[in-house]
Amino acid sequence: MRAALPLVLFTAAGCRFHFDPVAGDSIDGDATTAGDVLGDGLVDGTNVTPFTIYIEAESGLVASLFQLQSTGPETYAIDTNLAGETGPGSVSFTVRIFEAGDYYLWARVLTQDSTTDAFNVTFGSHGPFVYDTSECMFSGLWHWTRMRVDGTCVPLSAPRAFALQPGDTTLLVASREGGSRVDKLVVTNLVDLVPQ
Using CA atoms, how far apart are residues 107 and 3, in angstroms rounded to an integer?
Answer: 32
What's the CATH architecture for 51-188? Sandwich (2.60)
Bridge partner residues of 142 (DSSP): 110
pTM value is 0.75
Residuewise pLDDT in 10s, the chain (196 residues)? 333 333 334 433 333 343 433 334 443 333 333 444 333 334 444 556 899 999 999 999 998 788 888 887 878 888 787 654 555 788 999 999 999 999 999 999 988 888 888 889 999 999 999 998 888 888 888 999 999 988 667 677 889 999 999 999 999 998 888 888 899 999 999 999 999 8
**Domain residue ranges of the chain, discontinuous segments joined by +:** 51-188
